[in-house]
Amino acid sequence: MNKTLETFFADFPYLSPDDRSRIGSAWDFMLERKKGVCRSCGEDFLDHPMRVARILAALQLDTDSIICAFLHGSMEELGLSPEDVEAKFGTGVRTLVEGTSRISGLKLQNKTVQQAESIRKMFFAMVNDIRIILVRLADRLDKMRNLKVFPEDQQRTIAQETIDIWAPLANRLGISFIKDELEDLSLKYVNREVFDQIKNLVAAKKGERTEFLDSAEADIKKAAEKAGLEIEIQSRAKHFWSIYQKMKKRNKAADELYDLLAMRILCSTVNECYTILGLVHTVWKPLDGRFKDYIA
């Protein structure tokens, strides 16, 4: 078995033997057609489709989606017609590949906020399978992760398009980790000065943040245990784009903001939510005018 494929299957053990067989056949087909071929940027042709497939596998998508990741945007280069795709890989893969091709053919640049919202609505109207949008999102995430290989004059345009269309799309689908990463990567090219400012601030306080969050989690868990409540706590630093939006909204520099950390406390009932909120307010006094009842 090809080493790249071996690693892929080891990293995503949810795939069944039949899944692995179909994915292996599709990857072998790609190797036959494109092994050793490079893109115009100098990258191996096969690197991008495998990275997109890995993003989809991390979401535990099905085999048709992963095979589509191999083929998306490359039908002409691979010398394939839709009928060829169906004959080799099945009707499901053909549907996904044709759907992703339709979306990629749309002209998306230089849109107003209203136009961007219309485009997002049009995406959902154009496709009858949500996996098509997930493949395009994975494709866009990989493009943003490797945006440096694109000409400089294209980088800002692609980043702005990502902010206007693709990050909100990920948010609408509830895939927050993709939304956050798309926003942060876009900021790097839309406003590099602010990106570097936030990056330096976050890096400088990383140890301090980790220490504080660990201590805060321990205090909350101790108070909850005393009250007989079972909870789970998730903590994180706010992502760069979120900090940037707060800077603009409040007209402040990054180092003037206080709420750069976030904690999510999970419990079983609404009543427990209020009980825990009360416990939190006994550990730390809320700031005047800053409390918001998100529970209600």
- For 75-121, write each residue's pLDDT tens digit: 777 888 889 999 999 999 999 999 888 877 666 655 566 677 777 77
- Check if the beta carbon of residue 212 is closer than 8 Å to that of residue 260: no
* Helical residues (DSSP H) of 107-238, grouped into ranges: 113-126, 130-145, 152-161, 167-172, 176-190, 192-204, 206-226
Query: Above 80 in pLDDT, residue 271?
Result: yes
pLDDT exceeds 90 at position 141: yes
Using the structure block, give the residue that is written with the tokens 């991390």: 58
Per-residue pLDDT tens digits for 194-230: 888 888 877 767 777 788 888 889 999 999 999 999 9
Between helix 91-104 and helix 113-126 the angle, nearest 10°, is 160
pLDDT tens digit sequence for 18-64: 999 999 999 999 999 888 888 877 788 899 999 999 999 999 999 99
The model's confidence at residue 74, banded by pLDDT at 50, 70 and 90, is confident
Token readout for 117 is 């919202």
Strands 261-266 and 232-237 turn out to be antiparallel
Taking 80 as the threshold, does the pLDDT of residue 277 lie above it? yes
Cα separation, 51 vs 49, whole angstroms: 5
**Residue keyed to tokens 């599709």:** 26
- Of 73 and 85, the structure prediction assigns the larger pLDDT to 85
